[in-house]
Amino acid sequence: MATEVGPTSVKAPASGGAPIHHAPKGVGEDNRIATQGRWAAWLLAPTIVALSVVIVYPIITAIVMSFQKDAGVDASGFFVEGGPAGFSNYVNWIFQQCPAPGGGTVDCPPGTLGAQFWSATGTTFFFTIVTVTLETVLGFWMAVIMARAFRGRSLVRAAVLVPWAIPTAVTAKLWLFIFAFEGIGNKLFNTSVLWTGSEWPARWAVIIADVWKTTPFMALLILAGLQMIPAEVYEAAKVDGASAWQRFRMITLPLVKPALMVAILFRTLDALRMFDLPYILTGGANNTTTLSILVINQIRQGFNAAAALSTITFIIIFLVAFIFVRFLGANVVEQQTGAGKGKK
Amino acid sequence: MTAATELRAEQDRGRKVAQNREKWAQSRTYISAIVILFWCLAPAYWMVVTAFRDVGYTYDTSILPTHVTLDNFKTAFDTSFGNHFGQALLNSLFIGTVVTLVSLVIGVFAAYALARLNFKFKYLVLGFILGASMFPGVALITPLFQLFTNIGWMGTYQALIIPNISFVLPLTVYTMTSFFREMPWELEESARVDGCTQGQAFRKVIMPLAAPAIFTTAILAFISSWNEFLIASQLSSDATQPVTVAIASFAGAQPNQIPYTAIMAAGTIVTIPLVILVLVFQRKIVAGLTAGAVK
């Protein structure tokens, strides 16, 4: 790789990587940035091209498809022709309308996919809010414990990686077994619940399995944030007579907040696209159908309507990410680059 | 005199209280640690115990291994009920290796540029790559499903490998970027001062230093590909399905009975290598996992 990189481009700036606008801006500076820019373009090209092919192209195709009607036969045997659909696919999902025999639309009959948009949206957000909240609280607690010095700490740090390393499909089957009627779950809690048989037990089964699987990830991210806080700050606060609660509220929370926000953002976006766990654990039955499951179920009934729904899902996730970054101050890129803070 | 004794007694009392508090805090830490250990390990332990338990005692709830047998592992590889677990293991291995290699080879250049060079639109590119890693899989599946149906790629390896790259490549780039940023690049300069050529400096100094970072990234990329389910569940066939799909659709002799012991055996086979890998490279893995979030 280095042979491709011109000697001028790899030399660090004389000022040790200080922001450009601090350095005296001469002709040489401009030249160097231009050279580096050229090299950067070449080095980034393969990644950009690959991501364009595997992500940007499908997205554009999906958007184009979502404005097309699905050809085929509707529920009552009436032939529906394809062709431009305008926004009708979107409108149909949002108002839960299905094509009616003889043109026009009617309310989708209960039980059909078309009637599940709002319940799937509700389920998705319910799962997201509950799992991310539980994972944040539990993850924080685990991180605080793991940050303490005690014998066996490395054992705990290793153990939390075990749930993370187990594939989600296996996790789902494992919890299905634990929550089987005659399984260990009912035995331990001394209950006889048909966990996957009705709405709330099924939802809790999904939530518990998800929390088990992903809390470690959260805990490790928060732990990494905690370890960035210098011990002297705590010592100083102790000398000044701050209580444990005060130290937590005035030092730990504000200092760990950037890392915490990014962890919550990552987990939220991940939870909004939740698929594997409910799909395998409950099959989406009993109101555990998430938006992702609804899209998958729709694909075989009509690509174009599925494309509209997946675009809606994408927009929802994008909006949530936007709100996080804009209003809650989760600055992922800044965290990534360490720019703007003069860190390091 | 008496005042001094009193003072000392007072100090002793204070020290004792402090010691007691310390002890109490310490034991609370241990209790918490045990709860965490139990919570993380008990379900995994249950999977392994069930994997070794005779199928007739599937729902035995004794905590220690009972009715130990290896039959379940044989059942897991048995193809007579329409399961292709053995084939699926090879498929996952193949798909994971190709995806990891392609992502690393492409991603290493991008990571180098993002970590080492100054250029316009750097933040735009970083944002694009991070955005790509947060992308919902379902938004890709619909057009890909139609496209692959049209060009006859359904159920082929490339139909599984290409979408997987879209998940793994962004992860690879930003993990490696943060690793690269931490590397002592001054050494490259020093090597050149000592008379190395640019190429030698890179091969002899930078490559050995970057190797652990690249290796860790490879593990993370492989795990992420190994765990993929959504795309594979829709685009694979019996011949190309990866282990996640094989396990999710594992069938037993009776259609209404889920063969839990065999599934747990399959799950154990799929999981144990990963767990060992992760535990051996624990420190590096954690550093890689958390790379994007702090610093």
* Range among A11-20, A63-72, A305-314, B252-261 rated most confident: A305-314
Q: Does residue A146 share a domain with residue A47?
A: no
Whether residue A280 is predicted with pLDDT greater than 80 in this model: the reply is yes
Specify the pLDDT at position A332: 64
Q: In this complex, which of A44, A159, A174 lies closest to B37 when CB atoms are compared?
A: A159
Pairs from A228-233 (Cβ < 8 Å, separation ≥ 24): A228/A255, A228/A256, A228/A259, A228/B294, A228/B295, A229/A255, A229/A256
Q: Is the pLDDT of residue B225 over 60?
A: yes
Q: Is residue A16 part of a domain?
A: no
Between the alpha carbon of residue B76 and those of residues A46, B49, B83, B93, the distances in Å are: 41, 15, 8, 17
Mean pLDDT along residues B194-203: 79
My answer on whether B8 and B141 are in the same domain is no
- Check whether residue B103 and residue B234 sit in a common domain: yes
Whether A269 is covered by a domain: the verdict is: yes
Q: Return the structure tokens found at A99.
A: 């094509």
**If residue A106 lies in a helix (H) or strand (E), which one and from where to where?**
strand A105-107
- Distance between CA atoms of A166 and A175, rounded to whole angstroms? 12
Q: What backbone torsions phi and psi does residue B50 show, to the nearest 5 degrees?
A: -65, -35
The confidence score (pLDDT) of residue A335 equals 57
Residue B203 lies in a domain: yes
- Residue B68's DSSP bridge partners are B53
Tell me how far apart the alpha carbons of residues B33 and B30 are, in angstroms, rounded to a whole number: 5
Q: What is A245-314 written as a DSSP string?
A: HHHIIIIIHHHHHHHHHHHHHHHHHHHHT--HHHHHHTTTTTTT--HHHHHHHHHTT-HHHHHHHHHHHH
A275·B138 Cβ contact <8 A: yes
* Model confidence band, residue B78 (pLDDT cutoffs 50, 70, 90): confident
Question: Chain A: nearest CA to B55, how far in angstroms?
Answer: 13
Percent of chain B with pLDDT over 90: 40
ipTM score of the complex? 0.88
The answer as to whether A34 is a domain residue is: yes
- pLDDT on residue A198: 83
What is the reported pLDDT for A28? 61
CB contact under 8 A, A162 and B41: yes
Confidence of residue A117 (pLDDT cuts 50, 70, 90): very high
What pLDDT band is residue A14 in, cutting at 50, 70 and 90? Answer: very low
Are B199 and B106 members of one domain? yes
Note the pLDDT of residue B129.
Answer: 87
Same domain, A92 and A213: no
> What does the pLDDT average to over A91-108?
77
**For residues A169, B215, B235 and B87, what is the CA-based torsion angle, rounded to 10 degrees?**
-70
Does residue A85 carry a pLDDT above 90? no
Q: Are residues A205 and A88 in the same domain?
A: no
Q: Is A126 in CB contact (< 8 Å) with chain B? A: no
Q: B265: pLDDT confidence band, cut at 50, 70 and 90?
A: very high
Domain shared by B44 and B187, yes or no: no
pLDDT attached to residue B119: 84
Contact between residue B136 and residue A313 where contact means Cβ atoms under 8 Å apart: yes
Is the CB of residue B26 less than 8 Å from the CB of residue A148?
no
Higher pLDDT, B5 or A226: A226
User: Does B286 sit within 8 Å of A161, measured CB to CB?
Assistant: yes
How close A65 gets to chain B, by Cα (Å)?
8
CB spacing of B247 vs A173 below 8 angstroms: yes
Q: Find the CATH number of the domain harbouring A194.
A: 1.10.3720.10
What type of residue sits at position A153? R
If DSSP codes are grouped into helix, strand and coil, which group holds residue A229?
Answer: coil
Task: Say if residue A8's pLDDT is above 80.
Answer: no
Whether A182 and A87 share a structural domain: no
Residue among A129, A213, A88 nearest A163 (CA): A213
Q: Are residues A220 and A175 in the same domain?
A: yes
Q: Which of B117, B118, B244 sits opposite A20 (nearest CB)?
A: B118
What pLDDT was estimated at residue B81? 83
User: What average pLDDT score do residues B182-203 get?
Assistant: 81
Averaged pLDDT of chain B:
87
What local confidence, expressed as pLDDT, does residue A26 receive? 53
Does the structure show a pLDDT above 60 at B202?
yes
pLDDT interval class at B40 (50, 70, 90): very high
- A9 is a domain residue: no
Q: Which pLDDT score, from 0 to 100, does residue B47 have?
A: 95
Distance CA B105, CA A43 (A): 11
Selected for mutation to probe chain A from B40, B53, B167, B187 (highest A CB count within 10 Å) is: B40
CA atoms within 13 A on the CB side of A337: 24
Measure in Å the smallest separation between the Cα of A85 and chain B Cα atoms.
17
Q: Residue A279 above 90 pLDDT?
A: yes
Report in angstroms the alpha-carbon separations of A130 from A258, A267, A324, B206: 21, 12, 17, 45
Q: Does residue B257 lie in a domain region?
A: yes
Q: Are residues B21 and B167 in the same domain?
A: no
pLDDT of residue A5: 38
pLDDT band, very low/low/confident/very high, at A12 (cuts 50, 70, 90): very low
A-chain residues within 8 Å CB-CB of B66? Answer: none
pLDDT above 80 for B178: yes
B142-166 as b/e, with b when 16 or more CB fall inside 10 Å?
Answer: bbbbbbbeeeebbebeebbbbbbbb
The mean pLDDT of A82-102, rounded to a whole number, is 79
Residue with tokens 């309507």: A305
Does A1 reach chain B within 8 Å, measured CB to CB?
yes
Minimal Cα distance from A312: which residue of B? B139
Tokens of B7: 């003072």
Q: Are B27 and B162 found together in one domain? A: no
Structure confidence at residue A1 as a pLDDT band (50, 70, 90): very low
pLDDT class for A103, splitting at 50, 70, 90?
low
Does B12 lie in the same domain as B123?
no
CB atoms A310 and B136 under 8 Å: yes
Q: Which two tokens stand for residue A191?
A: 């209950």
Pair A102, A126 in one domain: no
Q: Who's near A104: CB < 8 A, 6+ residues apart?
A: none
Q: Does A253 touch chain B (CB under 8 A)?
A: no
Q: B71 lies in a domain?
A: no
- For residue A155, the enclosing domain spans 118-294+318-337
Work out the angle at residue A287's Cα, subtended by the Cα atoms of residues A285 and A292, and round it to the nearest 5 degrees.
80
Judge whether residue B87 has pLDDT over 80. Answer: yes
- Does A106 have pLDDT greater than 90? no
Shared domain check, B155 and B24: no
What is the residue range of B31's domain?
Answer: 2-51
Is B62 inside a domain boundary? no
CATH number for position B274? 1.10.3720.10
Q: Which long-range contacts (CB under 8 A, 24 or more apart) does A101-107 make?
A: A101/A74, A101/A76, A101/A77, A102/A78
Cβ(A224)–Cβ(A146) below 8 Å: no
Q: What is the least distance, in Å, from the CA of B63 to any CA of chain A?
A: 9
pLDDT tens readout for residues B205-223: 878 888 888 998 999 999 9
- For chain A, how many structural domains are there in total? 3
Q: How confident is the model at residue B11 (pLDDT cuts 50, 70, 90)?
A: confident
Residue A90 placed within a domain: yes
B74 CB burial (10 A radius; 0-12, 13-18, 19+): exposed
In a domain, A190, yes or no: yes
Q: Which residues pair with A107 in a beta bridge?
A: A97
The three-class DSSP label of residue A195 is: coil
What is the token pair recorded at A180?
């089987």
Q: What are the residues whose beta carbons fall under 8 Å from the beta carbon of B242, sequence distance 6 or more?
A: B88, B91, B92, B95, B160, B226, B228, B232, B236
pLDDT for B1 equals: 54
Chain B contact set for A61 (CB, 8 A): 143, 146-147
For residue B111, pLDDT beyond 50: yes
Region A77-87: what's the mean pLDDT? 69
Residue B292, pLDDT score: 58
A217 shares contact with chain B (CB less than 8 Å): yes
Window from A48-52, A53-57, B133-137, B265-269 with minimum mean pLDDT = B133-137
Q: Note whether B42 and B109 are same-domain residues.
A: no
**What is the spatial distance between Cα B88 and Cα B74, in angstroms, rounded to a whole number?**
15
* Stretch A308-320: mean pLDDT: 92
**Residue A340 reports pLDDT greater than 50:** no
Structural domains in chain B (count):
2
Residue B73 lies in a domain: no
**Count of Cβ atoms closer than 10 Å to residue A287 Cβ:** 17
> Are A206 and A254 members of one domain?
yes
Which runs of consecutive H residues, i.e. helices, occur in A67-116? 88-94
Domain shared by A129 and A222, yes or no: yes
> What integer pLDDT is reported at residue A156 of this predicted model?
92
What gap in Å lies between CA A49 and CA A29, rounded to an integer? 29
- Confidence (pLDDT) at A70: 79
Reported confidence tier of residue A20, pLDDT bands at 50, 70, 90: very low
Claim to verify: residue A53 and residue A76 sit in the same structural domain: no
Q: Is B74 contained in some domain? A: no
Residues in chain B within 8 Å Cβ distance of A51:
128-129, 132, 166, 169-170
Nearest Cα of chain A lies from the Cα of B265 at a distance, in angstroms, of 10
> A96: helix, coil or strand?
coil
Does residue B108 share a domain with residue B44?
A: no
3-class DSSP state of B278: helix
Let me know if residue B206 belongs to a domain: yes
Q: Tell me how close the Cα of A84 comes to any Cα of chain B, in angstroms.
A: 17
Give the mean model confidence (pLDDT) for residues B199-208: 79
Residue B122 lies in a domain: yes
> pLDDT tens-digit profile of A173-206?
999 999 988 888 888 888 888 887 788 899 999 9
In a domain, A7, yes or no: no
Does A264 have pLDDT greater than 80?
A: yes
**B46 and B91, same domain (yes or no):** no
Say if the Cβ atoms of A37 and B292 lie within 8 Å: no
Q: Does residue A12 lie in a domain region?
A: no
Same domain, A161 and A81: no
A72 and A56 share one domain? no
Measured in whole angstroms, the distance separating CA A28 from the mean position of its chain's CA atoms is: 43
**In this structure, which amino acid lies at residue B40?**
C
Helix axes A291-299, A117-147, angle to 10 degrees: 130
User: Same domain for A50 and A154?
Assistant: no
pLDDT of A290 reads 93
Q: Are residues B40 and B87 in the same domain?
A: no
